[in-house]
Amino acid sequence: MEDYIDVEEMPVPDLTYLRSVTGDDKDAIKEVITIFIETAPEMLTSLKNSALAGNHEQLRAITHKFIPQLVYVGILSVITDVKIINSESKEMNDLMQRVEKIIKIVNNSIDYLKNII
């Protein structure tokens, strides 16, 4: 729940976890990142659409799936926001702001990940 950050200040994904799980196997890391790059855009679209529609059940389901994916590819700076949406979306006045922040950071991270595989 920290202040919203500028795109220029966005942290890059931290691949420490993935390196550890794969034993630093480059091919395995590439496979996981590729799956994330393929599936994340659909996830972000669903996140935004569900938020716009006020579909809290759907938001809960999407964020449930999204949290571990973000951890595995090291996009840690949005984890708290996704968790908040997972547990508190019904009560949030800043839901869309947070969703936009998540989309911005994840898209930025996808660009970064595309460049390293």
- Closest to 85 (Cα-Cα) out of 112, 117, 46: 46
**Distance, CA of 101 to CA of 81 (rounded, Å):** 9
Q: Does residue 64 interact with other proteins by CB under 8 A?
A: yes
Residue of the chain from 24, 65, 111, 117 that contacts other proteins (CB under 8 A): 65
* CA-to-CA separations, 107 to 8, 78, 95, in angstroms, rounded: 13, 12, 18
Q: Which tokens hold the place of 82?
A: 């996704």
Sketch the per residue contact string, 71 through 100, with other proteins: x for CB under 8 A, - otherwise: xx---x---x--xx-xxx--xxxx------
Q: Quote the least distance from Cβ 115 to other proteins, whole Å.
A: 19
Q: How far apart are CA 48 and CA 2, in angstroms?
A: 21
Question: Which positions touch other proteins (CB under 8 A)?
Answer: 1-3, 14, 16-17, 20-23, 28, 31-32, 35-36, 39, 60-61, 63-65, 67-69, 71-72, 76, 80, 83-84, 86-88, 91-94
